[in-house]
Every structure is written in C-alpha cells, then in structure tokens.
C-alpha cells in the first residue's frame, strides 16, 4: 500500500471513504455541530457520491460514545422482512437457497430511521440541515473518484436490468461515469428534499413509501406499506470482550459482531507476537480461529428473539475453551462444525469525533453493490437486498420469515481502556467495511495495534488475509511466496486475490489531547481534522 501518515488534529476528526463526505463532516464540526450531526451529514453525502455502497435504501448501525453521559449507546436501524416473505413463498418459487441481488431480497430499509434517531437523541441540528450538503451535491453534481468509478463500472450489466437503475446511474443509459467525470442525481435531490420537508415519515408510510412498495410488489417482492409504517429503529446495549488490557465493543445480534469478540477471546492466551506478524504460523492461527467463530454465528446468530443460545454463552470461558481446542496448529480445517452451546452483516463505514469528546462509529450498507439493483423510477436511490442474508434451512434463528430481521454483516466497533481508577475511557472508534471480511478485518487491525505496536495508519495499511470458504484463503500481494507455500503445506488453498475485497478501514484514536485518524488506502477516502 502507498504509505499515508496518521492524521493528528487538536479539536475534531472525521474519517470516511470519500473526501467530500469527510469535508462535509468537518464543515459541520467547524460550524459548532457535534460528532453525531457530522456523521449523519457525511452519511447522506455518501448516499450521493458512493451510491453503489450506501444510502437510504439500506440499513445502518452505530455505536455512540456520549461524552455527557460517559457511556456507549448502540443503535440497530436494520429493517425487517416484508409480511409476505415466507419460507413457503420462496420455496414455491423454486428457490432452494435465498435468491441474491433481486427484488425478492428487499427488506424494509432502516437507514433513514437511524439517521433521524441519532439526531433526535444526540444531535444539535435537524435532519433537514444534515441533508443539505447531500442535496447540493446531488443537484449540482460532483466528480466521481477512481475506486468508486471502477466499482460502479463493474455493475453496469446489473444496472441495465432495471429501468430505474439504468436511468439513474448509467450515463445515457449505457455506461458508468469515469473517474473525474461530473455526475448529477437530480432524482435523489428531490427525494432528499421531500424527506427534509416531511421527515422520515415520507418513507415509512408516506408518499415515498407508497412508491417503493408499489414498485417492489410489481416486480415480485414482499413488502407492504404496513411493513414500512411499522418500522422502528432499536436502541441496544453494546456487547464486549476484554483483550490485552482493553475492552472491545460490538453490537449484539442480528449482526456478526459477536464473531470478532469470539475470535479475540480464542486468541487471548496465545503469544502472538512471538509467532511474527503475517508469518504462516500466525496467519494459520487467525484463519482457523475465524473458521470456528463463523461456524458458530451461522448456527446460533440471527433475529435476537429467535436465538436460543445467548451471546454470553458464545463468549463464555467454557465455550471459548471448547472452540480453542478445535484448532489444529498443524492442519487447516475444511468446514468446522459449530460448537455445542448451552441453550438459555456492500458497505460504507465512517467515524467522527468532536471537541467535546463525543465519538461515533457508524456503518451503512446496501449489502451487494447497488443492493438489489432495483431503483424505483424517479427516486434516485437503490434498494438493498439484505434479505439475501437469511437462510432457507428450517428451524434456525436466521430462517427467512415475515417480520424477522436478517443476519447482518455490517458491524461498527469501539474500544475502551480503563484509567487509573479502573473506569472505562474511550480509546478508538473504528470499523472495516466489507461483508464477511469485517470481523476478520477488525481482529487483524486490532492485533496490529495492540500486539505489534503499529501506529494507526500502519495498522490499517498492513497486508491482510481474507478467508473465503472451506480451505480457501486470499492473501494481499505483499504477503510473500514463502508464507503462501508454508500455508499450502498446512492444507490451505491460496485463492487468486484479484477481485477479492480486503476491507476498507476508518479509525479514530482519542489522545490525551486531540485525536489521531487513519483511512484505508483501499478506498477513495481520507481522514482529516481541525
């Protein structure tokens, strides 16, 4: 990776995946707004400038450190399956597994409700004020950045399949915009103005919602207007695990944050530093740890009301020891079985911190690039396909059913550490976007910082692995041939890394005075402060 320096600033910091979003967040902070105001403003701008990843057609989650309350708050703004989405209906259409990238996967989009909930509880500006920069960029246009342009172009054929997507996101209905080319989305500007005037109710039961439901139903989807009207975001208690004197926080299910915590708990007793950074022995241990943790979330995690195994059991000493014992230091496993537990979540990630000490870890996603590929004509935004996260296997917490929230890959994270009096203090707000890469990425970045002592940007830049399935693992090119051969000797199959996404991290560390920020060179974004 081309080296960047860690960014330091005295008053506030923003790290996002697109420079215009970072600039919009800083503008809010410099005008006296707080981190919550800035994070929603940046999220709305990303809806315009990184439309393949995010927007009001998707879901969002956040962890907020409130300086006033000196505590963390969690927000789950993911939507539920439509009341017509039954396992029987999906099977009757010939599906043996959940369909992918289709209108059948469209669940209630929860992101807008989350933006509104954050501002109402912690913000100092209105939703209309937060939307204003996004409306301006949608109306006046902006030059498309290179990585976004490349991903956009890769989805050309998908966008051509839907009338609304083709008209909205393809130049002359034929191609994606090139890097540096100006792009406008006047339909999205009109939609955001409607929301600024009417509030989120425009989508959740109002005029915009009716248009969404009518189009989804016409194409064969399962949403009703009552599903949108009934939607509510949920404030939740973050979950955590200790690691090397710090405490790592994730959100509880229906997301996969518990996998990152289980991985850290399994790895805690190992002398990781002696193994050496990104050696074959080190990578083997992390890959095998990932496999057992993911086997557990596939079996036990889903809609919280349907889970018979609580998170505390998955992170308990006895269960973690049992899972640690399944790891063979000399051989790669194929498909580990889930542990025997006692009964009792494509994406943008951004983070903002302000001069008062508030910090927000925020993630918003459409699931796949441009989500379902469906754009209701005239609305300017893609609808996500988060329903693809369900399973059709019967009897699991994540089996498709009406009104159930699907398993989510998108996970914001936070790290605290105790002060001399033993009171947790905020240390880092961070995330690593990229589907199933996210827990793997969280763990790799954290180990770079807490075990190997890298500075923040070095920890983000360092080459990563991504376990794919079975024994297949992809390695970034900087990991050398000697390591690849040693992993193959342990039974790993090294996949072609071309086309594999290794995640995009953004992070802010609180210093004794001011902040440090880092932004992933695998994305177009930047960290900047004031």
User: Tens-digit pLDDT profile for the chain (530 aa)?
Assistant: 557 899 999 999 999 999 999 999 999 999 999 999 999 999 999 999 999 999 999 999 999 999 999 999 999 999 999 999 999 999 999 999 999 999 999 999 999 999 999 999 999 999 999 999 999 999 999 999 999 999 999 999 999 999 999 999 999 999 999 999 999 999 999 999 999 999 999 999 999 999 999 999 999 999 999 999 999 999 999 999 999 999 999 998 887 888 899 999 999 999 999 999 999 999 999 999 999 998 888 778 777 778 777 888 889 998 899 999 999 999 998 877 655 443 333 578 999 999 999 999 999 999 999 999 999 999 999 999 999 989 999 988 889 999 999 888 788 999 999 999 999 999 999 999 887 888 899 999 999 999 999 999 999 999 999 999 889 999 999 999 999 999 999 999 999 998 898 999 999 999 999 999 999 999 999 999 99
CA atoms within 13 A on the CB side of 406: 31
Give the tokens for residue 54: 């995010």
Helix 437-450 with 280-300: angle, nearest 10 deg: 140
Is residue 65 a contact partner of residue 359, using CB atoms and an 8 Å limit?
yes
Is residue 301 a contact partner of residue 253, using CB atoms and an 8 Å limit?
yes
Rounded-to-integer distance, Cα 234 and Cα 138, Å: 30
Q: How far is CA 383 from the centre of its chain?
A: 16
Residues 6+ apart with CB under 8 A from 97: 391, 392
Residues 6+ apart with CB under 8 A from 456: 6, 449, 507, 509, 516, 517, 518
Residues 6+ apart with CB under 8 A from 179: 144, 145, 146, 149, 150
CA atoms within 13 A on the CB side of 327: 22
Look at residues 36, 119, 63, 68 and name the one whose alpha carbon lies nearest to residue 416: 63
The count of other CB atoms within 10 Å of the CB of residue 297 is 23
Is residue 379 a contact partner of residue 164, using CB atoms and an 8 Å limit?
yes
The count of other CB atoms within 10 Å of the CB of residue 487 is 24
Question: Where do runs of H (alpha helix) occur along 3-51?
Answer: 19-30, 35-49
- Rounded to 5 degrees, φ, ψ at 239 are -110, 160
What are the pLDDT digits (tens) for 2-22? 578 999 999 999 999 999 999
CA atoms within 13 A on the CB side of 164: 21
Using alpha carbons only, give the angle 360, 364, 367 rounded to the nearest 5 degrees: 150
Region of 139 on the Ramachandran plot (φ > 0 left; ψ -120 to 50 alpha; else beta): alpha
| Total residues found in the chain within this entry | 530
Q: Between the CA atoms of 341, 345, 351 and 353, what dihedral angle is there, to the nearest 10 degrees? A: -40
| pLDDT reported for residue 334 | 84
Q: Which residues are catalytic?
A: 347
Distance in Å from the first CA to the final CA of the chain: 26
The count of other CB atoms within 10 Å of the CB of residue 289 is 25
CA distances from 276 to 461, 464, 483, 493 (A): 17, 14, 12, 21
What is the residue extent of each domain of the chain? 237-345+412-502
What are the pLDDT digits (tens) for 100-121? 999 999 999 999 999 999 999 9
Q: Between the CA atoms of 445, 448, 449 and 452, what dihedral angle is there, to the nearest 10 degrees? A: 170
Burial of 74 (0-12, 13-18, 19+ CB in 10 A): buried
Rounded-to-integer distance, Cα 474 and Cα 255, Å: 24
CA distances from 198 to 54, 341, 347 (A): 22, 47, 27
**H/E element, 517:** strand 515-519
| pLDDT reported for residue 341 | 40
Residues 6+ apart with CB under 8 A from 333: 288, 291, 292, 326, 327, 471
Query: Strand ranges (DSSP E) for 332-454?
Result: 347-353, 359-365, 374-375, 382-383, 413-418, 424-433
Rounded-to-integer distance, Cα 328 and Cα 361, Å: 35
Look at residues 311, 250, 297 and name the one whose alpha carbon lies nearest to residue 74: 250
Give the global pTM: 0.94
| pLDDT reported for residue 455 | 95
Rounded-to-integer distance, Cα 178 and Cα 339, Å: 48
Is residue 360 a contact partner of residue 351, using CB atoms and an 8 Å limit?
yes
Query: Strand ranges (DSSP E) for 67-108?
Result: 71-77
CATH architecture, domain 237-345+412-502? Orthogonal Bundle (1.10)
């Amino acid at each position: 990776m081309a080296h960047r320096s860690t960014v330091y600033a005295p008053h506030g910091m923003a790290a996002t995946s697109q420079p215009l979003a970072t600039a919009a967040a800083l503008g809010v902070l410099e005008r006296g707004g707080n981190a919550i105001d800035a994070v929603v403003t940046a999220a709305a701008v990303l809806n315009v400038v990184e439309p393949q990843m995010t927007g009001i057609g998707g879901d969002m989650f956040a962890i907020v450190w409130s300086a006033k309350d000196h505590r963390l708050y969690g927000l789950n703004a993911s939507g539920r399956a439509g009341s017509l989405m039954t396992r029987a209906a999906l099977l009757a259409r010939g599906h043996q597994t959940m369909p992918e990238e289709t209108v059948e996967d469209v669940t209630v989009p929860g992101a807008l409700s989350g933006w509104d909930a954050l501002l109402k509880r912690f913000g100092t500006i209105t939703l209309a004020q937060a939307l204003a920069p996004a409306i301006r960029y949608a109306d006046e246009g902006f030059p498309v950045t290179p990585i976004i342009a490349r991903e956009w172009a890769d989805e050309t054929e998908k966008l051509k399949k839907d009338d609304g997507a083709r008209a909205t996101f393809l130049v002359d209905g034929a191609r994606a915009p090139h890097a540096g080319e100006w792009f406008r989305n006047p339909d999205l500007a009109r939609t955001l103005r409607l929301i600024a005037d009417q509030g989120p109710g425009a989508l959740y039961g109002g005029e915009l919602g009716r248009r969404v439901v009518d189009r989804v139903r016409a194409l064969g989807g399962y949403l009703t207007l009552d599903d949108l009207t009934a939607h509510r975001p949920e404030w939740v208690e973050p979950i955590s695990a200790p690691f090397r004197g710090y405490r790592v926080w994730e959100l509880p299910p229906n997301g996969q944050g518990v996998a990152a915590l289980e991985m850290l708990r399994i790895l805690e007793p190992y002398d990781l530093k002696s193994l050496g950074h990104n050696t074959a022995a080190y990578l083997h241990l992390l890959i095998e740890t990932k496999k057992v943790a993911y086997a557990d979330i596939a079996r036990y995690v889903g809609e919280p009301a349907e889970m018979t195994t609580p998170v505390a059991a998955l992170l308990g000493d006895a269960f973690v020891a049992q899972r640690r014992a399944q790891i063979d230091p000399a051989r790669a496993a194929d498909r580990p079985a889930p542990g025997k537990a006692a009964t009792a979540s494509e994406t943008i990630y951004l983070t903002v911190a302000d001069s008062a000490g508030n910090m927000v870890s925020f993630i918003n996603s459409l699931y796949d690039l441009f989500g379902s590929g469906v754009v209701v004509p005239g609305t300017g935004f893609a609808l996500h396909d988060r329903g693809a996260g369900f399973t059709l296997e019967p009897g699991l917490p994540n089996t498709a059913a009406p009104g159930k929230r699907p398993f989510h890959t998108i996970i914001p994270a936070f790290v605290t550490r105790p002060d001399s009096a033993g009171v947790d203090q905020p240390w880092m707000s961070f995330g690593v976007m990229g589907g199933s890469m996210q827990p793997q990425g969280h763990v790799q970045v954290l180990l770079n910082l807490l075990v190997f002592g890298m500075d923040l940007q070095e920890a983000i830049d360092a080459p990563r692995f991504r376990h794919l399935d079975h024994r297949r693992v992809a390695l970034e090119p900087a990991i050398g041939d000697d390591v690849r051969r040693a992993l193959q000797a342990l039974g790993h199959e090294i996949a072609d890394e071309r086309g594999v996404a290794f995640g995009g991290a953004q992070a802010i560390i609180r210093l004794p005075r001011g902040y440090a920020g880092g932004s992933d060179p695998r994305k177009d974004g930047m960290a900047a402060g004031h």
